[in-house]
Amino acid sequence: MKTIKIFDTTLRDGEQSPGASMNIEEKVKIALQLERLGVDIIEAGFAAASPGDFEAISKIAKRVTKSRVCSLARAVDNDIIQAAEAIKEAKYQRIHTFIATSPIHMENKLKMSEDEVVERAVKAVKLARSYCEDVEFSCEDAGRSEIPFLKRIMDAVIEAGATTINLPDTVGYRMPHEIAAMIKELSEHAGERAIISVHNHNDLGLAVANSLAAVENGAMQVECTINGLGERAGNAALEEIVMTLKTRADIYGEYETNINTKEIYPSSRLVSSITGIVPQPNKAIVGKNAFAHESGIHQDGVLKCQETYEIMSAADIGMEKNSIVLGKHSGKHAFKDKLQKLGYELSESELLDAFEKFKVLADSKKEVFDDDIRALLNSQVNFEPVYELESMQLSDCSSAMATAAVALRKEGETIRAAQIGNGTIDAVFKTIDEAAGYKGTLKDYQVQAVSQGKDALAKVVVQVIFDDDKPAVIGRGLDLDTMKASAEAYVNALNSYLSMKDSLKQQLRLGEEDKI
Ligand code: KIV
Ligand code: ZN
């Protein structure tokens, strides 16, 4: 069997999805879930990008012990030094450095000759190797690079110490047969000297097909993300690659991965609840409808024999269908047991906090599903909130004179405010701004039912900018009442902003000569 290494870049390329920024504790939570999932390498971030990224990578490096922890670094000294420093406490480490190799990037972006690019790449790899034995080098925009130049730079960086060569289709331009030909030629050229990796973007919807074509032709590492998150149209989706290799063992029987597929669904839910980016309902493998059968003929077929309309089972990816879990009489032990089955490991105080929330929920909701429990757990905040929503009253909800009165709690004091808004949501958010003394701009608002039934929990995700110089923060709220969930989400966004405003601020400034 050939073991294909799964390199997950949800925390780096995935975080480059517009609106997907995560705070440090959220990144640690995702990294620990990726480790449970069994990914070989976790690209935890881009250490030199910001102090927040650096701190997240360092924390992940300290906590993750099974997967290799990697930081991205441009081919500049400062980036590599920061990457090395950030991963230094990881049990297994990798530095991933890159420079563009396509004519269009070298001429227009880098304004560097081929010789200069090779020289810069070699210098970067040598410096990275002085810190770390495992060094990946990426030829950015390899998909549009010339094969002879790729061979030249590959030879030079392998000689300098690179152990993995990644060939990204950075702009998602290539077709499967083109990727197949490129990988075949370059993996034969590398031979035993380095592992060949692929990193495909999904601009034409071909990222997964291209990754599989690469595997068939010698790539031994695939870079991908949970739910296919990533720049623009995203990256190849981890769950689709892994489940294709498994489900089509008749074709891919000689390949295996270290992924525990039962952790796919929990990973997908965790990432979507943290980023607020929910996979489309018909998304392969992890979409809400991926295992739902609507037509009577299909339902009848599946009841008689599951394989009539299902090529894999929901249980294989850890999606238990419609499982009612606990009720209001369930005790702490049963709750803890359920959490363990769902893959959550909580400290005693986190468990108590979650149990209290569960009791409140079970009191007002007849049936509590696995997804309700996940939503409850995934919405737990991991910072001390400055503001708490104490109470809220609404009137004239449907008019342009909708009125909200809100009481917020801060350091034991109650602050009250009332505002008129253009609709209820506007009134509620304006009132929270007034009470807290901030002015947020709402960039996105999403509401979703967590499970089924009229009494389903409403999950609201907002993206808010509290300071024009800083990116939007995400806030989440969960309640049976949609308006209350909305207010909770907005307060959560404000607390999140206050907890990370210093690390949100700066992009590290690099010297002029480092601007590549
Ligand atoms: O798409 C890309 O080329 C990248 C590299 C930095 C690996 O993300
Ligand atoms: Zn990328």
Instruction: Tell me the pLDDT tens digit for each residue of 275-323.
Output: 888 899 999 999 988 988 767 777 778 788 888 888 999 999 998 764 5
With a cut of 70, which residues of the chain have pLDDT below it?
294, 321-325, 366, 380-382, 502-516
Q: What is the pLDDT of residue 512?
A: 41
Q: How far is the CA of 40 from the centre of ligand 2 (A)?
A: 18
- For ligand 1, atom 1, name the residue with the nearest CA: 170
> Widest CA span of the chain, in angstroms?
72
Choose among 455, 435, 357: nearest CA to 391: 435
- One DSSP character per residue, 357-415 reads HHHHHHHH-S-EEHHHHHHHHHT--SS--S-EEEEEEEESTTSTTEEEEEEEEETTEEE
Length of the chain: 516
Residue 166, classed as helix, strand or coil, is strand
Put residue 234 in one of left, alpha, beta given phi > 0 → left and psi -120 to 50 → alpha: left
Q: What is the pTM for the complete model shown?
A: 0.84
Q: What is the pLDDT of residue 200?
A: 98
| Nearest ligand, measured from the Cα of 236 | 2
- For ligand 1, atom 7, name the residue with the nearest CA: 138
Q: How far is the CA of 170 from the centre of ligand 1 (A)?
A: 6
Q: Is the CB of 98 under 6 A from ligand 1?
A: yes
Q: Is the CB of 46 under 6 A from ligand 1?
A: no
What end-to-end distance do the CA atoms of the chain give, in Å? 40
Best residue among 13, 70, 71, 232 to mutate for probing ligand 1, ranked by most atoms within 8 Å of CB: 13
Spatial contact of 121 and 137, defined as CB atoms under 8 Å apart = yes
Q: How far is the CA of 17 from the centre of ligand 1 (A)?
A: 13
Q: Is the CB of 168 under 6 A from ligand 1?
A: yes
- For ligand 1, atom 8, name the residue with the nearest CA: 13
Q: What is the pLDDT of residue 324?
A: 54
By CB atoms closer than 10 A (0-12, 13-18, 19+), residue 508 is middle
Q: What is the pLDDT of residue 516?
A: 55
CA distance 497 to 493: 6
Q: How far is the CA of 168 from the centre of ligand 1 (A)?
A: 6
Q: What is the pLDDT of residue 371?
A: 79
Q: Is the CB of 97 under 6 A from ligand 1?
A: no
Q: What is the pLDDT of residue 338?
A: 82
